[in-house]
Structure 1
Amino acid sequence: MNGDMEYGRLPAEGTDHFHRLDAHVVATEALLTTVDNIQDTIEAQGMMCAFGSSGFGKTMSVNSALRKLAPDITYRLELRSGPTPRDIRHGLFRALGLPGDPPTRPIEFDTLLKETLSETFRVLVCDEAQWMGRSSFEYWRHLWDDRNTKITVIFAGGDGCFKVLKREPMLASRIFIWQKFTRMSEDEVVATLPAFHSLWSGVDPRTIRGIDRAAAHGNFRNWATITRLLRNGMNRKQLTEINDNLIRWVYSKLAGM
């Protein structure tokens, strides 16, 4: 078996949060929807596309849902920018922990992968799918279309993966569920933040709304950055609560403020 036993497995929950923030996974509307969608896709042995702009929680939601639904049969690929079908072959070989050296000829490689993926049902996740072009998406279709393989494929990526897939009717028609991730509403931000991190417990909702309008814009990744900066500032300035001066200090460290 390959030596890197961690590659391809679901990461620990603590690594989901931006900046390794000591926060909690919160059952947002997007996360609950992701659980339902992935469960339906697994039951159908279909393909799913989770897409949207950066920072809206695609990867975190997909990882969290799969920890709940299919932790032992999920295999994740981490591909470089502009991956080719060759990269996908080698990524699968590594993620699946196949023995020996990878085959040198594509036809032999494909036969090995199809035989392996026909043995037992697996969930394959391609994160950062916006980096893939038509030929790479076609390769995933090639594996999924084989009548013997037993797989669910989940693409998670930026708007680019949606645009590539929608341009190709043969590919788009095979996507069972499309899920678009968007920014949280102010009401959801106010309801979510205290559960997300203890720093926001007891903070005036008007303060949270003001920060969201000025800097976070309903983006979970922005909120993780702001939370980390606020915590750092409170520790450095020996504060016990958030105040306007601290918020302005955080804004001074953010682009576009």
Structure 2
Amino acid sequence: MIIAQNTSSLGKVGDDQYLRLPDANIVATDSLCITRENLEEVIAAKAMMCIHGDAGLGKTFSVNASLRDIAPQQSYRIQFRARPTPRYIRSMLFDALAIVGKPPSRPAEFDRLLKGVLAEEFRIFICDEAQWQSTECFEYWRHLWDDKHTDMAVVFVGGGDCYRVLSREPMLASRIYIWQEFRRMSLDQVYSVIPAFHPIWEDADPVDIEFVDDKAAHGNFRSWAKITLHTVRALSRAEQHRVDRDVLLRVFSKLGGRS
């Protein structure tokens, strides 16, 4: 069997940033550090883990950033559509593994092919939006991972209801080695993280940073990235360099909701 080079890359550092925000920095938040530590443990144990939490808290970013340092060539990101089937997972794995040739038409034959490839070397599979998968899909992942010949770790990443979805699958849930929940940043964390996140916040008044978080960002990293890009452009239009309340109010008017 001929296997091509890993084409399921984790992408470039800049690709992880929401809206590809210029000049944004990777900040070693508590969540990012914990994610890296947990992934190192999962890889060492060749186990499965679940990372869950509300949208925009940095789950995918933290996984990508960590694995890019730890095991970039062994990591395969599998991005699912809504309500995938085991057949779709087989197809995605075939493509991610860059197996040369035509996919088998029969499930049993397809599974033998995938298991043979998965036995050749250790790999890490990141299953994003895991909450969309059905019982049959979760059972399929368990079937692959349980096989005594396959050599793999699986990282399920999903939104706020991912924990509920996976925990009601007892055969799979009992095999999850680490559960990690992402939560919104506290105000103290915002004070520490945001000035290091982007240059426009370095010399911003802490009162203004608190104002942004209280009125619009709410400890959500994706919201902070969106607000930061709007603010960068507002500062450019106003030909000023320092964030103030007038600029922020103009930014808030673009964020939706009622005044």
CA deviations 1:105-155 (Å, max 9, x no partner) are: 110111011010001111111111121121111111010000110000001
Q: Deviations over 1:54-101 (max 9, x none)?
A: 000000000011011111111111111111111111111101110011
Following TM superposition, the consecutive aligned residue runs of length 4 or more in structure 1 with deviations greater than 6 angstroms are none
TM superposition shift of 1:2: 8.8
**Secondary structure of 1:159 counterpart:** coil
With 90-99 and 163-172 compared, the bigger mean Cα shift is at 163-172
Partner amino acid, structure 1, of 2:120: E
CA distance in 2 between partners of 1:172 and 1:244 (Å): 48
| 1:169-208 matches, cutoff 5 A | 169-208=170-209
Aligned to 1:79: 80
Q: Residue in 1 aligned with 2:10?
A: 10
TM-score (structure 1 length as normaliser): 0.96
| Structure 2 unaligned blocks of 5 or more | none
Letter in 2 for 1:241: R
1:106-185 → structure 2 map (5 Å cutoff): 106-185=107-186
Give the Cα–Cα distance (whole angstroms) in 1 for the partners of residues 113 and 128 of structure 2: 23
Report whether the alignment pairs 1:224 with 2:233: no
Contact 1:134/1:164 (8 A) holds in 2: no
Q: CA RMSD in A?
A: 1.4
Report what 1:243 is aligned to.
244
- Whole-angstrom CA distance in 1 between matches of 2:160 and 2:128: 13
1:19 matched to 2:4: no
Distance 1:13 1:51 in 2: 22
Measure how far apart 1:29 and its partner are: 0.0
1:179 alignment partner, SS class = strand
Letter matched to residue 205 of structure 2: D
Instruction: State how far apart, in whole Å, the 2-side matches of 1:12 and 1:129 are.
Output: 23
Asked if structure 2 preserves the Cα contact closer than 8 Å seen for 1:2 and 1:94, the reply is no
Percent identity between matched residues is: 49
Alpha-carbon distance, 1:160 to partner:
2.7
TM-score, length basis structure 2? 0.95
Instruction: Please show how residues 23-38 of structure 1 align to structure 2 within 5 Å.
Output: 23-38=24-39
1:196-215 deviation digits (Å, cap 9, x = unpaired): 11111111111101110111
Listed as ranges, the gaps of 5+ residues in structure 1 are none
Matched position secondary structure for 1:155: strand
Alpha-carbon distance in 2 for matches of 1:187, 1:152: 35
Structure 1 residue 188: Cα displacement: 0.8
